Structures are given as structure tokens and as C-alpha cells.
């Protein structure tokens, strides 16, 4: 080995050490940056959490959910009666009341959150996560029993959800096996089961969850909105379970709206509800009389060919509830969520509670 070769050996060794040092330094900077990003996200989260916690919207949501989560301190029937008598945005069906609210010492045991969006890039998603956190705390659900799934979650989202909040994040969506066991055993225990938290989820996902999980309790988009986007026949053909739910809501809402009209117009002398059909005004004789001095041009009106006209008649929809896993509903639309002047904007627009009575 020559002197030149000998002197080159330590130089190569120094380069390797320098490379390792740079790698450690880069990793350290990345960890520091991630920590700063997490801290900033936590700060935003805590601020938004307080704004929702002190809101009437949160109070309304808790009041509706408390009627099912009866721990012995909640007057369940009181909440239901309040909705029937004073809130036209609610539909309460007798079967659901008997099936759910008469059971004492019931409680939520888990929450599944789907399609919430990226909490680090979308302010609506962060507000929705704040509401989720408040529900978890209010109903004392263990963090490990709160699961989330959304393929759009980035690394910062995952770190915050898992490391900061302690929630479970699914790598892929799987059917709720625990819920399946409960249904198979037909258990009348002290657990309500799973609350599905799905604000702003697309209707295709909601329909898919109805098919796969057969959920009983959902905080979800108001399905009545879609009744205006499709004909009833199209709605049922594309999303049969969503259409069935919407039909149950509509039937209850019609009954409530009839009561509201009675209160506005008052009953007739014989106690019946006055008719609200519209009638066309007919001209009085004085309107047809003209002065002799007036010159009037009379044009012959063309007869309309009614034979060529065919009025559209929407097909009658048979909802086939015998093929569904539910047959009745409790429904409440949170109108306070539509107030976009609040800090959360449209984060809770068209937000509603759906509780289904399983067969």
C-alpha cells in the first residue's frame, strides 16, 4: 500500500460519517416541523371546539341524542313530546319510541366516523371533528372505541387523530363485525350500539352503509334534500334504502304540517280542518259590462288541441319495506346548522339525526 493510498482511507470514512450526520439532521428537522404543524392544528382545534361547545346547535344535538342515551337522569319521554308539540322539523313514530326509549340504562358504546375529510386542510372537517370530540366526551365513549375512515387523510391528519386524540383510524373500511354479532344474538343488553357520524357524506356512501352495516343511529346529511333532486321513482331506483327513509320522514312530516296549518287557520265551526285547495277567481258581471261609447276589438281565441297533450303521470313507487331491515323512524333536522353566519359556516348544513327501528 503506498502512502497516497493510505491517506485516502480516512478521507472516505469521514465522508460516510458526514452523510450519516446530514441524514440525522434532516430527520430531526422533519420531526420538528411535524411537531410544529401538530401544535398549530391542536391550537385551531381547541379554539373551534369551544365555539361549538357553547353553541345552541350543540345543545340541540345533545338534547336529541340524550333521549336514546338514558342513564337514569334523562327524562326520555319529555324530549320526544317536546319535539312532537313544538318542532315541525321532527318526525317521531310510535314504534321507535316503544322500541328504543322505554329501555332503561342504555348507552352508546362506539362511534364510527366516515368521510369527514382532511382535518388539516378543510375547515369544515375540523369543525366536524370538534363536534365528534364533544359527543365522545359527553357520552363517555372510550377513545379506542372511536373509529374514523377516509382515504383522503394525510400524514398530519393521521398523527393528530391517532397520537393526539387517541382515536382509531382504519386503513380500509370494513363491515362492523361487533354490530353484526349484536344483531345475530338479538341482544337486549344495556348498549345502544354504534352511532354513525357522517356529516356531508355523499348519498352513494350512505346507501352503501345501509346495505352493509344496517345502522340504527346516524348523524348524517338530510336525505329529504334528495327528494327534490330526483323523482320518487328515480330516487328509489338509484338509492332504495335512502328513498325508504325519506318516505317515512315525509309521511310523518305531512302529519306535522297538517297540525301546523290547523293552528294557523283554526278549525271550522264543526271542528274540521278547513280546506287549503286553491280556487280560481271568476269575473263579476260588472267586470264584463262595457260602456256603449267604448270601441272594443274582439279577437277569436284559438282552440288548443288537447288531444295531442298527454299529462305526465309519475309512476307509483312500491317501497317494499318487507325487504328493508327497518320499518319506522325518529328524525330531527337541525335547522341551526344552516346558519352560515356562525363561525363554522356550512359545516353542519342539512344535518340531521336518523334513528331507525329495526325489525
The answer as to whether 282 is a domain residue is: no
Kindly state the average pLDDT of the residues 102-121.
82
The answer as to whether 214 is a domain residue is: yes
Rounded Cα–Cα distance for residues 236 and 112 (Å)? 26
The answer as to whether 329 is a domain residue is: yes
Q: 4 is written with which cell numbers?
A: 497516497
Question: What rounded mean pLDDT belongs to the chain?
Answer: 74
Q: 80 is written with which cell numbers?
A: 320526544
- Of 129, 128, 130, 135, the C-alpha closest to 110 is 135
Most confident of 162-171, 173-182, 190-199, 310-319: 162-171
pLDDT in tens, 153-186: 999 999 999 999 999 999 887 776 555 544 444 4
How far out from the chain centre does Cα 357 lie? Answer: 18
Lowest-confidence region among 239-243, 290-294, 297-301: 290-294
pLDDT in tens, 33-84: 678 899 999 999 999 999 999 999 999 999 999 988 765 333 333 233 333 3
The answer as to whether 2 is a domain residue is: no
Per the rule left: phi > 0, alpha: psi between -120 and 50, beta: everything else, 303 is beta
Comparing 32 with 271, which gets the higher pLDDT? 32
The answer as to whether 159 is a domain residue is: yes
Print the SS3 string covering 182-203: HHHHCCCCCEEEEEEEECCCCH
pLDDT at site 187: 43
Residue 243 has pLDDT above 70, yes or no: yes
- Whole-model pTM? 0.70
pLDDT at site 95: 46
Counting Cα atoms < 13 Å in the Cβ hemisphere of 346 gives 4
Comparing 126 with 254, which gets the higher pLDDT? 126
Rounded Cα–Cα distance for residues 32 and 66 (Å)? 42
Residue 286 has pLDDT above 50, yes or no: no
The answer as to whether 158 is a domain residue is: yes
Q: Which DSSP helix (H) or strand (E) runs through 57?
A: helix 56-66
Structural domain tally of the chain? 1
Lowest-confidence region among 129-133, 257-261, 324-328: 257-261
Lowest-confidence region among 12-26, 140-154, 195-209: 12-26
pLDDT at site 106: 57
Rounded Cα–Cα distance for residues 219 and 210 (Å)? 13
Percent of residues, the chain, with pLDDT higher than 90: 51
- Structural domain for 142, as ranges: 30-261+318-358
- Of 60, 7, 189, 196, the C-alpha closest to 115 is 196
The answer as to whether 294 is a domain residue is: no
pLDDT at site 255: 43
DSSP-derived 3-state class of residue 2: coil
pLDDT in tens, 227-240: 889 999 999 999 99
pLDDT bin (cut points 50, 70, 90) of residue 32 is low
Comparing 314 with 204, which gets the higher pLDDT? 204
The answer as to whether 268 is a domain residue is: no
Comparing 206 with 278, which gets the higher pLDDT? 206
Amino acid at each position: 500500500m503506498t502512502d497516497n493510498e493510505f491517506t485516502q482511507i480516512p478521507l472516505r470514512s469521514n465522508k460516510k460519517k458526514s452523510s450519516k450526520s446530514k441524514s440525522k439532521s434532516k430527520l430531526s428537522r422533519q420531526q420538528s416541523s411535524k411537531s410544529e404543524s401538530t401544535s398549530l392544528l391542536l391550537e385551531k382545534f381547541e379554539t373551534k371546539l369551544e365555539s361549538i361547545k357553547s353553541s345552541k346547535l350543540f345543545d340541540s344535538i345533545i338534547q336529541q341524542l340524550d333521549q336514546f342515551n338514558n342513564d337514569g337522569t334523562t327524562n326520555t319521554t319529555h324530549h320526544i313530546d317536546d319535539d312532537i308539540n313544538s318542532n315541525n322539523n321532527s318526525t317521531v313514530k310510535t314504534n321507535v319510541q316503544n322500541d328504543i326509549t322505554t329501555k332503561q340504562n342504555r348507552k352508546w358504546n362506539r362511534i364510527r366516523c366516515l368521510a369527514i375529510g382532511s382535518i388539516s386542510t378543510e375547515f369544515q372537517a375540523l369543525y366536524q371533528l370538534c363536534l365528534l370530540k364533544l359527543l365522545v366526551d359527553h357520552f363517555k365513549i372510550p377513545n379506542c372505541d372511536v373509529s374514523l375512515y377516509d382515504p383522503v387523510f394525510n400524514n398530519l391528519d393521521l398523527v393528530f387523530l391517532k397520537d393526539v386524540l387517541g382515536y382509531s383510524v382504519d386503513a380500509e373500511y370494513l363491515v362492523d363485525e361487533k354490530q353484526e354479532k349484536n344483531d345475530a344474538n338479538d341482544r337486549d343488553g344495556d348498549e345502544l350500539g354504534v352511532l354513525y357520524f357522517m356529516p356531508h357524506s355523499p348519498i352513494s356512501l350512505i346507501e352503501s352503509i345501509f346495505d352493509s352495516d344496517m345502522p340504527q343511529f346516524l348523524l348524517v346529511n338530510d336525505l329529504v334534500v334528495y327528494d327534490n333532486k330526483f323523482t320518487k321513482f328515480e330516487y328509489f331506483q338509484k338509492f332504495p334504502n335512502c328513498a325508504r327513509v325519506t318516505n317515512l320522514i315525509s309521511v310523518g312530516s305531512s302529519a306535522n304540517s297538517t297540525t301546523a296549518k290547523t293552528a294557523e287557520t283554526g278549525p271550522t265551526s264543526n271542528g274540521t280542518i278547513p280546506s287549503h285547495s286553491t280556487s280560481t277567481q271568476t269575473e263579476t258581471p260588472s267586470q264584463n259590462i262595457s260602456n256603449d261609447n267604448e270601441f272594443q276589438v274582439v279577437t277569436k281565441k284559438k282552440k288548443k288541441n288537447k288531444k295531442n297533450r298527454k299529462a305526465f303521470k309519475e309512476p307509483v313507487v312500491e317501497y317494499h319495506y318487507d325487504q328493508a331491515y327497518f320499518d319506522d323512524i325518529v328524525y330531527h333536522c337541525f335547522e341551526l346548522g344552516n346558519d352560515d353566519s356562525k363561525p363554522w359556516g356550512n359545516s353542519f348544513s342539512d344535518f340531521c339525526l336518523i334513528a331507525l327501528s329495526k325489525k
